[in-house]
Structure formats: structure tokens, C-alpha cells
């Protein structure tokens, strides 16, 4: 392989890796927020996002109703938030008792949501596009499309918004306190439940946004979004599972690594590759790749 050819290949690969990595990061942020505050790994994350994406499809395509894309998204956000509240309410009694039992319960919630999607929308494969004007331009070897810019803009807006909430608001201070020392928070009279609820709601919104943005690159079916969440889980593990910047950076690293792997090695073994990434990260960087660089701070 010539050097020029390598450079011609690598730049677009890196760029599209960064774009999809942003989405993995957004998905991972939801997982990490829930884990940091309530110590539960939310296995229903992907299924809830899938349900949300299908609601948008159902209400905007005419299969249930034909609303505008914006109002369908608003409706889907409402439903996703309601389901997030309901699933937190369900595990609320055991959330302080056992991480393990609550994690198993989220799997149950995920199964129910999965079944609901299959019941209502069937096993069909559908397309769901973003309503952004189509344009694109080339920058050197890299072709940049309107979709890429939309993803970047949404990701930056979300990360900035989350940063402002967590660093500057009372709720954010409470969130940081709860994720550092829940016992001390309870002693100080802080309501742990409301902080948990905040993180579960944020998780639902982040998951839905990630799903809506990832679906245009592939297609929407009852299995694609839940398995897309494996990328989010990997990103969270690479970032250390309890660090928000780690999740974002982990997402981008996973996105780039997956692109390189599928281009140079094989596109058919992506999940196996992610399994390898998870195992290697757990072995050599148990607290995430970024542990030394930024520590455990939010």
C-alpha cells in the first residue's frame, strides 16, 4: 500500500469514525449518568431508544399518524421520559439494596419494551431520515455532508448543555454529590430520588437523540438500535463507566477504531471486535483509558 493511498483512505475513515463516535458517546453519556447516580447498569437503554425511534417513525410516516417530524419527536421524547420514569419507579424499591437485582430488573424492562416494539411495529425494516437539507462539500480528501454537520452540532449542543447543568446548576451539584457519596448526601437531607430521576430522564433523552441520529446511516428495525447500544456500552467501558468526559472521548475512540477495523480487517466481526476491545480495556485499563489524563471528576 502506497503512502499516498494510505493517507487518502485514512482521513475519510477518521472523519466518519469521529461522526459515528460522537453518537456512541452520546449513547454512552446516558448510561454513565444513570450508573453514576444510581449504580445501575441500564440494560433497557437501547430498547427504550429503539421504542422512541419507532414512535417518531410511526407518528411521522403515517403508519400510525402523519404528524410533522418535530411534533413526532416531541411526542417520542414525552413517551421516552414517561417510560424512563415508570421504569425507575419499578426498580426504585430495590435500587439501594442490590445493584445486581436492579440491573436484572432493567433487563426485564428492556424485554418488555422490545416485545412492545415488535407487537406494535412488527419485525419490519424501515427507513427514518433526518429532515436536514442535503448538501455536502469536500475538504481535501474528506467529504463532509449536512448529516455530519447536524450530528456534530447536536453533539456539541448536548455536551455543552450537560456541562452547564452539571457544573453550574443546583441539580448538577446534587448530581455530583450523589455520585461521589450518596450516604453523605442523604445525611445532609438531599433527596436521592430526585437526582436519580434526573439522571434517568437525561439518559432517556440522550439515548433517543443518539438513536434518531444513528438510524439514518443504517435502517430502523427492532434489533438494530438495541445492538447499536453495544457501541455505547463499549464507549462507556473505554471511558471508565463513571466518567462523563471519558464516555464522550471513549465514544469517539470506539467510532474511529471500528471504522479502521471494518475497513482494514473485516466488517463482519464488529461485535467480536467490540468484545475484544472491552476485554482488553478491562484487563489493562480497568478504570478507563482516560483515568490518568482527567481523573474521575465529572
Binding stretches for other proteins (CB under 8 A): 35, 39, 41, 43, 90, 93-94, 97-101, 103-105, 107-116, 118-119, 223, 226-227, 230, 233-234, 236-237, 241, 266, 268-272, 274-275, 278-280, 282-283, 286
CB of 114 to other proteins, least distance (A): 5
Angle between helices 3-38 and 224-239 (to 10 degrees): 90
CB of 50 to other proteins, least distance (A): 12
For residue 225, how many other CB atoms are within 10 A of its CB? Answer: 29
For residue 24, how many other CB atoms are within 10 A of its CB? Answer: 31
Q: Which is nearer to other proteins, 57 or 233 (CB)?
A: 233
CB of 63 to other proteins, least distance (A): 17
CB of 194 to other proteins, least distance (A): 17
CB of 87 to other proteins, least distance (A): 9
Q: Which is nearer to other proteins, 6 or 219 (CB)?
A: 219
Max CA distance (Å), the chain: 65
Q: Which is nearer to other proteins, 180 or 227 (CB)?
A: 227
Number of alpha helices (DSSP H) and beta strands (DSSP E) in the chain: 12, 2
Q: Which is nearer to other proteins, 82 or 173 (CB)?
A: 82
The torsion angles phi and psi of 139, rounded to 5 degrees, stand at -125, 95
User: Does an H or E element contain 136, and which?
Assistant: strand 136-139
User: Does an H or E element contain 143, and which?
Assistant: strand 142-145
Residue 64 makes CB contacts below 8 A (sequence gap 6+) with 58
Q: Which is nearer to other proteins, 22 or 230 (CB)?
A: 230
Amino acid at each position: 500500500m502506497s503512502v499516498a493511498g494510505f493517507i487518502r483512505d485514512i482521513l475519510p475513515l477518521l472523519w466518519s469514525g469521529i461522526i459515528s463516535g460522537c453518537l456512541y458517546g452520546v449513547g454512552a453519556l446516558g448510561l454513565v449518568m444513570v450508573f453514576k447516580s444510581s449504580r445501575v447498569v441500564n440494560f433497557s437503554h437501547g430498547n427504550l431508544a429503539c421504542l422512541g425511534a419507532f414512535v417518531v417513525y410511526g407518528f411521522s410516516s403515517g403508519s400510525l399518524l402523519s404528524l410533522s417530524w418535530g411534533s413526532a419527536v416531541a411526542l417520542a421524547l414525552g413517551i421516552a421520559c414517561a417510560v424512563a420514569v415508570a421504569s425507575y419507579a419499578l426498580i426504585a424499591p430495590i435500587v439501594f439494596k442490590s445493584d445486581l437485582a436492579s440491573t436484572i430488573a432493567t433487563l426485564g424492562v428492556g424485554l418488555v419494551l422490545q416485545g412492545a416494539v415488535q407487537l406494535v411495529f412488527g419485525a419490519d425494516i424501515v427507513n427514518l431520515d433526518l429532515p436536514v437539507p442535503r448538501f455536502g462539500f469536500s475538504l481535501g480528501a474528506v467529504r463532509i455532508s449536512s448529516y455530519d454537520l447536524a450530528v456534530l452540532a447536536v453533539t456539541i449542543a448536548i455536551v455543552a448543555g450537560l456541562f452547564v447543568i452539571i457544573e453550574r446548576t443546583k441539580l448538577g451539584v446534587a448530581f455530583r454529590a450523589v455520585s461521589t457519596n450518596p450516604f453523605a448526601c442523604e445525611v445532609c437531607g438531599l433527596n436521592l430520588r430526585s437526582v436519580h430521576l434526573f439522571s434517568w430522564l437525561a439518559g432517556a433523552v440522550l439515548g433517543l437523540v443518539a438513536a434518531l441520529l444513528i438510524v439514518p446511516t443504517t435502517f430502523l428495525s427492532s434489533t438494530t438500535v438495541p445492538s447499536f447500544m453495544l457501541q455505547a456500552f463499549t464507549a462507556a467501558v473505554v471511558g471508565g463507566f463513571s466518567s462523563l468526559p471519558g464516555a464522550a472521548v471513549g465514544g469517539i475512540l470506539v467510532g474511529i477504531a471500528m471504522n479502521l477495523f471494518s475497513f482494514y480487517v473485516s466488517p463482519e466481526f464488529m461485535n467480536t471486535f467490540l468484545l475484544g476491545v472491552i476485554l482488553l480495556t478491562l484487563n489493562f485499563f480497568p478504570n478507563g483509558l482516560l483515568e490518568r489524563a482527567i481523573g474521575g471528576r465529572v
